[in-house]
Chains A and B, each alone.
Chain A
């Protein structure tokens, strides 16, 4: 079993829709949870991070963590064509430095 599982998609939605992207993980030691956005032929960029369980909101984006279920989500409200990208969840593994385990990424397409 992979440490981090993520549905690869692709996920296609109409502009304005609410998007839900999800990951499950197996390592209960994970404490920080990150979402990266990767546009085609570009490097990933950190979108949001959260610590432990709960919600965090940033504009149209909300990150949600449920540690009891080992399940994290990223919600995008009022989705825009510019949100079309691959979204990767990621978790740093403790070990003295920021060693990050990434999900495979979900490709999102927002149709105008």
Chain B
């Protein structure tokens, strides 16, 4: 498709399990971002990729969270030993480049993965 695709759209799992969330960015977009959106809260930055490198991982909440990107395309966010506080919507966005000026290179978001930890 033409947009950012995320899978699964919904994920329910038990506390302590590992989960993998997938993001397929728009073809040709070199920059990729992961955000977390908790109920009633704004988007919380997690990690940024430029190509396959992650220059900024500062938003990852703990060492249980990791992400990778391959082929300058698909990215996977992995959460190990999930906790109830990990329940949120995880959003992925991609942009053509990563210039601060957003006019020509806005971030395009997927519809997110709704993660529920029982």
Which residue numbers of A lie inside 8 Å of B, CB to CB?
Answer: 4, 6, 8, 32, 34, 41-46, 49, 51, 88, 90, 92, 94-105
Contact = CB atoms under 8 A, between A and B. Distances in A.
Contact of A92 (B35, B43, B100): B100
24 contacts: A6-B42, A41-B111, A42-B111, A43-B91, A43-B93, A43-B109, A43-B111, A44-B109, A46-B107, A49-B102, A49-B106, A51-B103, A94-B100, A95-B100, A97-B48, A97-B50, A97-B56, A97-B99, A98-B31, A98-B95, A98-B99, A99-B56, A102-B35, A104-B42
Contacts of B108: 45
Interface string B44-77: 0100101000011000000000000000000000
Given A43-B93, A97-B55, A98-B105, A88 B100 contact: no
Contact of B98 (A4, A90, A97): A97
A103 B41 CA distance: 8
Given A32-B100, A41-B114, A101-B45, 16 more contacts: A32-B101, A41-B111, A43-B91, A43-B109, A44-B43, A44-B91, A45-B109, A46-B106, A88-B43, A90-B43, A94-B100, A96-B55, A96-B100, A98-B99, A102-B42, A102-B43
Nearest to A94: B100
A77 to B, nearest CB: 23
B100 A98 contact: yes
Contacts of A90: 43
Nearest to A97: B98
B112 interface: yes
B94 to A, nearest CB: 11
Nearest to A107: B40
A27 to B, nearest CB: 14
Given A42-B111, A43-B109, A92 B50 contact: no
A104 B38 CA distance: 10
Given A41-B111, A104-B40, A32 B102 contact: yes
Contacts of B4: 43
B71 to A, nearest CB: 20
Contact of A98 (B40, B41, B98): B98
